[in-house]
Amino acid sequence: MTGPLPYRGRFAPSPTGRLHFGSLVAALGSWLLARYHRGEWLVRVEDLDPPREVPGAAQAQLATLAAFGMPSDGPVVWQSQRHDLYAGALARLLADGSAFQCHCSRGDLAAVNGIHRQCVASDRSRPPAVRLRVAEGARIGFDDGLQGRFEQDVDRDVGDFVLRRADGHWAYQLAVVVDDHAQGITDVVRGADLLDSTPRQILLQRMLGLPTPRYLHLPLILDAQGQKLSKSMAALPVDDDAPVPALMAAWQALGQDPAPMAGILPVSGWMAAASAHFRPERLPKVTSMTFAAAHNNAAASAV
Ligand code: GLU
């Protein structure tokens, strides 16, 4: 009999477009850490928000991951096929009073910056959302594997947050907690844009009686205007036909030494060498860097 795996990581893109350089940095970082720990690495498609999805994007993302030598180690999980799991978790939270139905609209909450701490609904006939009840003074902290200690006053800064939207769609926070647990994920490695979602996820885990995985948040790649690449014109998709130059740039954005990687082709050989030469202690302890800095880094250390 084998015991539980010591390390299982994942990459969980939302199919809102092709993978860009920022997503490649997150995918490669989480893949390298999984390999470094001799663990598994799973891909999960977070397709729970049809209005934001781009037709064909999920398949294109999976094709890119394969072209870059990072196929999922197990079957790809599609969140759109897992409604029963989310419904089960929500039912438990509703049954024990940890969650409640809420008729407040965006407009109702405008005066409190959208932070829900009590119901102020002006129209109780509209379909309700379901929110998690966040206790007064609830403060959650955790030790991030790269960024160090991170704390948040969830009650004051976030408030009672949505688990199922009024339009019936599942909120990311609920689905991610349910799936990370259901898939046995031990290590969540992702972009630092999600650092401030993590306390909410830990709070939900506690209310559902689930263990908390380890978290590590990699630097987010920003454009020259300081915007997330996915939201900007600089979000040029990475080219499936030329993976190695993009991998090399992502490797250097992750603070790794290019010297032992020079001239290695094709992608399978490059990835094998990368897993042998990866040094987690070289990961940059910053929450963001610009696309230009990541590339200059690459150019500077390549000479
Ligand atoms: N689906 C989320 C995104 O693409 C990532 C979720 C996660 O890694 O927890 O931003």
SS3 of 102-143: ECCCCCCCHHHCCCECCCCCCCCCCCCEEEECCCCCCEEEEE
pLDDT in tens, 138-168: 999 999 999 999 999 999 999 999 999 999 9
pLDDT of the residue at 301:
47
228 or 174, which is more confident? 174
Q: What are the boundaries of each domain within the chain?
A: 8-76+184-301, 83-173
The number of angstroms, rounded, from the C-alpha of 262 to the middle of its chain's C-alpha atoms is 30
Nearest one of 242, 193, 234, 148 to 12, comparing CA atoms = 193
| Six token digits for residue 60 | 């294109």
CA–CA gap between residue 189 and residue 142 (Å, rounded)? 14
Handedness of CA 84, 183, 185, 48 (dihedral sign): negative
Distance 13 CA to ligand 1 centre (A): 5
- 46 close to ligand 1 (CB < 6 Angstrom): yes
Across all residues in the chain, what is the average pLDDT? 93
Q: Is the CB of 179 under 6 A from ligand 1?
A: no
Closest by Cα among 211, 267, 224 to 24: 267
Ligand 1 pocket: which of 64, 172, 195, 215 to mutate (most atoms within 8 A of CB): 172
Spatial contact of 25 and 19, defined as CB atoms under 8 Å apart: no
190 Cα nearest atom in ligand 1: 8
Residues in CB range of 269: below 8 A, 6 or more apart: none
Nearest ligand 1 atom, CA 46 = 1
Tell which residue, 117, 111, 121, has the closest CA to residue 132.
117
Global pTM exceeds 0.75: yes
What would the two tokens of residue 157 be?
């800064």
285 noted as active-site residue? no
Give percent of the chain with pLDDT exceeding 70. Answer: 93
pLDDT tens string 94-127: 999 999 999 999 999 999 999 999 999 999 999 9
Contact 42 CB / ligand 1 (< 6 Å): no
User: For residue range 192-217, what is the model confidence (pLDDT) as tens digits?
Assistant: 999 999 999 999 999 999 999 999 99
Superfamily of domain 83-173: Glutamyl-tRNA Synthetase; Domain 3 (3.90.800.10)
pLDDT digits (tens, 9 = 90+) for 237-249: 899 999 999 999 9
- 13 touches ligand 1 (CB under 6 Å): yes
CA end-to-end distance (rounded Å), the chain:
51
State whether the beta carbon of 176 lies less than 6 angstroms from ligand 1.
Answer: yes
What's the confidence (pLDDT) of residue 5? 60
- Asked whether residue 280 is marked as a ligand-binding residue, the answer is no
pLDDT for the residue numbered 2:
56
Atom of ligand 1 nearest to the CA of 10: 8
The three-state secondary structure class of 41 is: strand
In the chain, DSSP finds a helix count (H) and a strand count (E) of 9, 12
Position 245, amino acid: P
Query: Which phi-psi region, left, alpha or beta, contains residue 209 (left: φ > 0; alpha: ψ -120 to 50)?
Result: left
Which one of 76, 79, 194 would you pick to mutate in the ligand 1 pocket, going by the greatest count of ligand atoms within 8 A of its CB? 194
Q: Which of 231, 279, 282, 285 is catalytic?
A: 231
Superfamily of domain 8-76+184-301: HUPs (3.40.50.620)
The tens digit of pLDDT for each residue in 263-278 reads 999 999 999 999 999 9
Flag the least confident range among 40-54, 260-274, 287-301: 287-301
